[in-house]
Amino acid sequence: GAVVSQHPSWVICKSGTSVKIECRSLDFQATTMFWYRQFPKQSLMLMATSNEGSKATYEQGVEKDKFLINHASLTLSTLTVTSAHPEDSSFYICSARDQGQNDEQFFGPGTRLTVL
């Protein structure tokens, strides 16, 4: 299957700082990528749909100015958590849609964010 990477795999930051997480499709082009948040023992919650060359579509209740998404190329989407607070600590997962493989979503390994 296709491969999606995320960087970094974990990050610790101070409250008030911003953190950028990268999601890359390594062997296919993805016009659409998705960002999820996963809390312990809970489901993946879709935060936003990232579309190459256009603005992201955010799910209800997700702050656009807090979670900035940029999808500047067909292989890279970034999620920036601005002015992070301890309640933003979570596991963030991205996926990329491969139109060449029946629109299947391929998932990255996730990024653990801890805000002190």
Residues that bind other proteins (CB under 8 A): 1, 4, 6, 32, 34, 41-44, 46, 49, 51, 93, 95, 97, 103-110
Distance in Å from the first CA to the final CA of the chain: 37
Q: Which is nearer to other proteins, 53 or 86 (CB)?
A: 53
Q: How far is the CB of 83 from other proteins (least distance, A)?
A: 27
Q: Which is nearer to other proteins, 82 or 107 (CB)?
A: 107
CA–chain centroid gap for 16, Å, is 20
Q: How far is the CB of 4 from other proteins (least distance, A)?
A: 7
Query: Distances in Å between the alpha carbon of 102 and those of 18, 20, 23, 99?
Result: 36, 30, 21, 6
